[in-house]
Amino acid sequence: MTKKGRSLLWFRKGLRLHDNPALLEAAKDVEHLFPVFCIDPHFYEKQPIGVNRINFLFESLADLHESLSARGSRLLVLRGDPKQILPQVWKDWGVTKLCYEQDTEPYALERDNEIGELAKKAKVEVKTFLSHTLYDPVEVKKAHGGKTPETYKAFQSAVAKMPPPPSPVRDAPEKLPTIAPKAKGAEEKATGVPTLAEVGYTDKPTTSFHGGETKALARLTKSLEDKEWVVQFEKPKTSPAALEPSTTVLSPYMKFGCISARLFYAKLVQIEKEKKKHTSPPTSLVGQLLWRDFFYTVGYHTPNFHHMLGNPLCKQIQWDVDPVLYKAWDEGRTGYPWIDAIMVQLQQQGWMHHLARHSVACFLTRGDLYVSWTLGRDTFDRLLIDGDHFVNNGNWMWLSASAFFSQFFRVYSPITFGKKYDKQGKFIKHFLPVLKDMPDKYIYEPWTAPEEVQKKAKCIIGKDYPKPVVEHATKHKDNLNRMKSAYDANKSPQKRKEISDGFDEMARAEVLDMEADDDEDEEK
């Protein structure tokens, strides 16, 4: 049988050849296959993305290009708005079928709807596949009696009624159809990936985590090597202060789809079966994957999930608009070494442990600074290499006690929490070398060190390292009262509306534009 059609495989997330149903479909029974990635200005012009994250993406694309090349194909990197460039290339290349993995983020839904319409007009067949999550959010809602599961428990009981997550599909064939040799402009586009400079970045990446399916699979294998560690994994028992990460650091690979969630899940379930005795959700590793799916499900079904205003799940809270405090937090200058070291880790590595994220998110919002969670979300979105729409928004709402979690009186101390894991403050000294000679006794509260000690440590507080921007002991108590009033107000629809109406979105935007002019929470 001679193969005739030409298909276009559009990579967006899902930057992998394993467990990629869209790829299998695109490669099936066609003469030529065009694997395409569009560098969409939407993602890096409208909102700044840190150099570590964009570099991680480019490394992932380069890896994909290599793996495709080994199979006789290549990655065609196009630049521009996919709504404009895809119709152009499918016309130029005579494409008859368009395949891609579904993306449920709001921007992607709108974009893909428009592209679907354009394809229909051009008589290009469209085939899409759900392979970024374990479960289909639409099916989960159905299993929950047509209601959105708004708690992890509700999500668990919904998925318990569903068939288990689909097994990963087979790997890409060893030989893929070639791109059509004379397709207009295709050869020039097959140059792989632009350099950082070409897309306007002057800084060099600083993270030690590198993108790509090859690295992702190696990391998965290494993470699961010690089966005892896997079956005994309990997230709250892993250390946020470990310099060698105490969890898998697979999140950036999951974000870009360099690793399949279904493959990760299948491997965990296999190990659990083999070992018999194992920890359980929510704290086990399987539990971590379910958290991800939970946020994807609830986020998909909640309008304005990424805003406070117009978001039915989110408590309306009159957060302070304080550019000075926000910037101090964003730049790691709060004067609390535990908080600042984590923020420096974010800038340098683009990744922090989950409980470290808890600490800084609580500090920015209800704990200390009383600044809006959406500002913290934006900082994370800019700097995290795993910055993920649903997971980031969901966790920020959680930590600010705006949704999902309501025990706002349980506040992380910026002084004692880190100490439980790292008495000597090795983590702090690593990320804040200015404090490296500060005696252990003062490392979490250097402003309490006598002048002589500060001099000896060559770190004068207020000069070499900032004084605390707020006094935790008093501020967190004031904030508790404010949170209590906010929670009371949210019980009345009228008062809730008054808070929303009074919240100044413009002031919030100005903060973003401005150029630098007792302990434990519920742990997951």
Q: Which residues are annotated as a binding site for FAD?
A: 247-251, 288-295, 386-388
349 forms part of the interface with ligand FAD (CB under 6 A): no
Query: Please, what is the angle between helix 505-513 and helix 323-330, to 10°?
Result: 50
The least distance separating ligand FAD from the CB of residue 451, rounded to whole angstroms, comes to 37
Options 102, 239, 288, 374; binder of ligand FAD; rule CB under 6 A: 288
| 341 touches 427 (CB < 8 A) | yes
Q: Distance between CA 285 and CA 223 in Å, rounded? A: 11
What is Dmax (Cα atoms) for the chain?
A: 86
219 forms part of the interface with ligand FAD (CB under 6 A): no
Q: Distance between CA 380 and CA 376 in Å, rounded? A: 6
The one-letter amino acid at 12: R
Query: At 23, which helix (H) or strand (E)?
Result: helix 21-27
- Is-cis flag, bond preceding 282, omega within 30? yes
The one-letter amino acid at 335: G
402 forms part of the interface with ligand FAD (CB under 6 A): no
Site for ligand FAD in 359-388 (CB under 6 A): 361, 380, 384, 386-388
343 forms part of the interface with ligand FAD (CB under 6 A): no
267/436 with CB nearer ligand FAD: 267
40/388 with CB nearer ligand FAD: 388
Token pair listed for 68:
């495709």
284/479 with CB nearer ligand FAD: 284
C-alpha separations of 132 from 19, 210, 215 in Å: 10, 20, 18
DSSP 12-58: SS---STT-HHHHHHHTTEEEEEEEEEE-HIIIIIS---HHHHHHHH
Summarize the annotated binding site as residue ranges: 247-251, 288-295, 386-388
Token pair listed for 447:
């402003």
| 116 touches 74 (CB < 8 A) | no
Q: Distance between CA 265 and CA 259 in Å, rounded? A: 11
Token pair listed for 234:
């309990």
342/399 with CB nearer ligand FAD: 399
177/418 with CB nearer ligand FAD: 418
Q: Which of 435, 427, 409, 240 is nearest to 335 (CA)?
A: 435
| 23 touches 7 (CB < 8 A) | no
> Using CB under 6 A, which of the segments 149-157, 171-179, 198-206, 395-403 binds ligand FAD?
395-403
Site for ligand FAD in 465-524 (CB under 6 A): 524
93/363 with CB nearer ligand FAD: 363
> Using CB under 6 A, which of the segments 196-204, 250-258, 325-333, 471-479 binds ligand FAD?
250-258
279 forms part of the interface with ligand FAD (CB under 6 A): no
The least distance separating ligand FAD from the CB of residue 60, rounded to whole angstroms, comes to 15
399 forms part of the interface with ligand FAD (CB under 6 A): yes
Which residue's structure tokens are 């999951």?
254
Options 289, 325, 486, 499; binder of ligand FAD; rule CB under 6 A: 289
Options 242, 249, 321, 480; binder of ligand FAD; rule CB under 6 A: 249
Token pair listed for 58:
């480019």
363/444 with CB nearer ligand FAD: 363
Residue 489, helix vs strand vs coil: helix
215 forms part of the interface with ligand FAD (CB under 6 A): no
Options 78, 134, 268, 391; binder of ligand FAD; rule CB under 6 A: 391
The least distance separating ligand FAD from the CB of residue 5, rounded to whole angstroms, comes to 36
The least distance separating ligand FAD from the CB of residue 35, rounded to whole angstroms, comes to 25
The contact set with ligand FAD (CB under 6 A) reads 235, 247-251, 254-255, 288-289, 291-292, 295, 353-354, 357-358, 361, 380, 384, 386-388, 391-392, 395-396, 399, 524
